[in-house]
Amino acid sequence: MLLPMSPADSVFLSVESPQTPMHVGGLELFFPAEDAPSPAELFSQLSSGSTANDVAPLFKKRPRRSLATAGQWAWEEDRQFDLSHHVRHNSLPQPGRVLELLALCSRLHSTLLDRQRPLWELHFIEGLADGRFALYFKVHHALLDGVSAQRLLQRILTKDPAARGLPPPWANRPAAPRPAQQQPAPPSPEELVANLLRSAREVATDVAGIPSALVRTVNRGLQSQSAPISFAAPRSMFNVPISGSRRFAAQSWPLERINRIRRGARCTVNDVVLAACSGALRTYLSSMDALPEAPLIAMVPVALRVRDRARESGNALGAVMCDLGTHLADPADRLRTVRRSMKEGKQALAELSPLQIVAMTGLGMSPLLLQSIPGYAELLRPPFNLIISNVPGPRTPLYLNGARLDGLYPLSIPYHGQALNITCTSYTDELSFGLTGCRRTVPHLQRMLGYLEDELTALEQATG
């Protein structure tokens, strides 16, 4: 049975190539419990005993495009599903440092997922010298986005350190019974017609407002103000065609350090993250003699409350093109620039309806689809220089068969013209940075971790 694939999801399959794998990933580090079995036994517990019938339908979907689908991508069940292909056991070479772990994740993140099979893999990794083990999970963006993948992987985790025998993330779980609720009375024919007319009128109003929203958005972009569209991004070493090889660097910092800077500067955690990235990027590019005179522009996904005609307010996801202030030498000036840019961008989005935000954000990102055309990235300015995102994570400690989750690091998607991606996520009292870059285009990526530490220290001093 073929299931239709949404146009948005099919784009990730259509633009994928050996140079641009379109999967996201996550790395989780664990400290084993005192009574924990050996790593080999842990892997056996995680992977054995499951048959194809025990696997949730999501994990058995593979993509297909044929005459039967009119040339469009669709999903079908893999009737020869092989769990051992998707769940794998890895051991690090000596001396088993985090450096070897990140190198392995870099290689795993560089390879395409097999389209003849469901588009996911889970790697159990042992051999760290300090006794920890790791899980690396990768899944195609057509199947799950990064946030959904992170939440799904956390299904095997629990807040109870004594819990054992939890089902794996791919387990076919029965749907939880919903509490009985009193059903509202059905609307009368008059109310139904009135609701339909009101909804149609609201959609028509939003659509009619798109041209004026576009004019306002483009004007802001032309004036170098923050908006979903930017015309100010300079050419940089990140905005070129890339290879398929990846390098991954990751590190965590105490959230209290970030919060001290936030309180001192009266800004948001995301402002501090962006300012730290700004300073680290400035130092990195300067060391390569590749710092543009104009400031780098980062595309920053944001969630915000916006006006909604159907309700008093509504939620919407959009993107702000943030001026990182990388042309400024003073860290305090960079932080002020980031704070002002993000505030302006959020205000600009808040003036739009959710439908208009989606339209403007899509328009601002649409040039990415042209980056794979030979020569495009060299001839025209990039729509932005890199993506920096901050995704909230679990606030309480989590456990896997008694093993405590010690670190959570996201891996994302570089693309032609966007050779570096920085994604952050929080866990308990730490903020973790995951830097994913093209191995050839962004050399010595691990140095960025030291530059991030230096910039956080400089921001602490600048904010007292």
CA-angle at 133, arms to 247 and 409, nearest 5°: 40
Question: Residues 154, 26: contact at Cβ < 8 Å?
Answer: no
Would residue 189 count as lying in a domain? Answer: no
Give the C-alpha separation, 284 to 287, whole Å: 5
Task: Say if 285 falls within a structural domain.
Answer: yes
Please give the Cα distance from 210 to 206 (Å, whole number).
Answer: 7
- Side chain identity, residue 429: D
Q: Which residues contact 432 (CB under 8 A, 6 or more apart)?
A: 250, 251, 252, 393, 407, 408, 409, 410, 424, 425, 426
The rounded Cα 139 to chain-centroid distance in angstroms is: 12
What pLDDT sits at residue 206? Answer: 44
Evaluate the CA torsion angle 252, 254, 255, 259 in order and state its sign. Answer: negative
Other C-beta atoms lying within 10 Å of the C-beta of residue 259: 14
Q: How many residues does the chain have?
A: 464
Residue 299 CA from chain centroid, whole number: 12
Residue 173 lies in a domain: no
Greatest pairwise CA separation for the chain in angstroms: 74
Q: Please give the pLDDT value at position 237.
A: 96
Do the domain assignments include residue 170?
A: no
Domain count for the chain:
2
User: In this structure, are 79 and 213 located in the same domain?
Assistant: no
* pLDDT given for residue 88 in this prediction: 93
**What pTM was computed for the model?**
0.86
CATH code for the domain in which residue 64 is found: 3.30.559.10
> Would strands 311-323 and 297-308 be described as parallel, antiparallel, or unpaired?
antiparallel
Residues 142 and 280 in one domain: no
Are 322 and 390 found together in one domain? yes
Residue 29 lies in a domain: yes
Final residue before a domain boundary, out of 156, 173, 194: 156
What residues contact 104, with CB distance under 8 A and at least 6 apart?
90, 92, 125, 136
Share of the chain above pLDDT 70, in %: 78
CA distance 94 to 331: 40
Please name the residues in contact with 81: beta carbons below 8 A apart, sequence gap of 6 or more.
Answer: 52, 55, 60, 117, 118
* Residues involved in catalysis: 141
Model pLDDT for residues 311-368, shown as the tens digit of each residue? 444 445 778 889 999 999 999 999 999 999 999 888 877 777 666 666 666 666 666 7
Tell me, yes or no, whether 199 lies in a domain. Answer: no
Mark whether 306 and 454 lie in a shared domain: yes
Q: For a pLDDT cut of 90, what percent of the chain falls above it?
A: 55
Domain boundary among 115, 131, 156: 156
Cα 221 from Cα 264, distance rounded (Å): 30
238 plus 314 within the same structural domain? yes
**Is 180 within a domain?**
no
Domain stops at, among 125, 156, 187: 156
- Find where tokens 């159907």 sit: 310
> Which residue segment(s) compose the domain that 116 sits in?
2-156
Is residue 275 included in any domain, yes or no? yes
Instruction: Report how far residue 352's alpha carbon sits from residue 360's, in angstroms, rounded to the nearest whole number.
Output: 9
Q: Domain of 280: which CATH number?
A: 3.30.559.30
Show pLDDT as tens, one digit a residue, over the chain (464 residues). 788 888 878 888 988 999 999 999 999 999 988 877 777 777 777 776 666 678 889 999 999 988 877 788 999 999 999 998 999 999 999 999 999 999 999 999 999 999 999 999 999 999 999 999 999 999 999 998 877 877 777 778 899 998 887 788 888 876 555 555 555 555 544 444 444 444 444 444 444 455 554 555 555 555 555 656 767 799 999 999 999 999 999 999 999 999 999 999 999 999 999 999 999 999 999 999 999 999 999 999 887 665 554 444 444 577 888 999 999 999 999 999 999 999 988 887 777 766 666 666 666 666 676 666 766 666 677 889 999 999 889 999 999 888 899 999 999 999 999 999 999 999 999 999 999 999 999 999 999 999 999 999 999 999 98
In this predicted structure, what is the pLDDT of residue 170?
A: 84
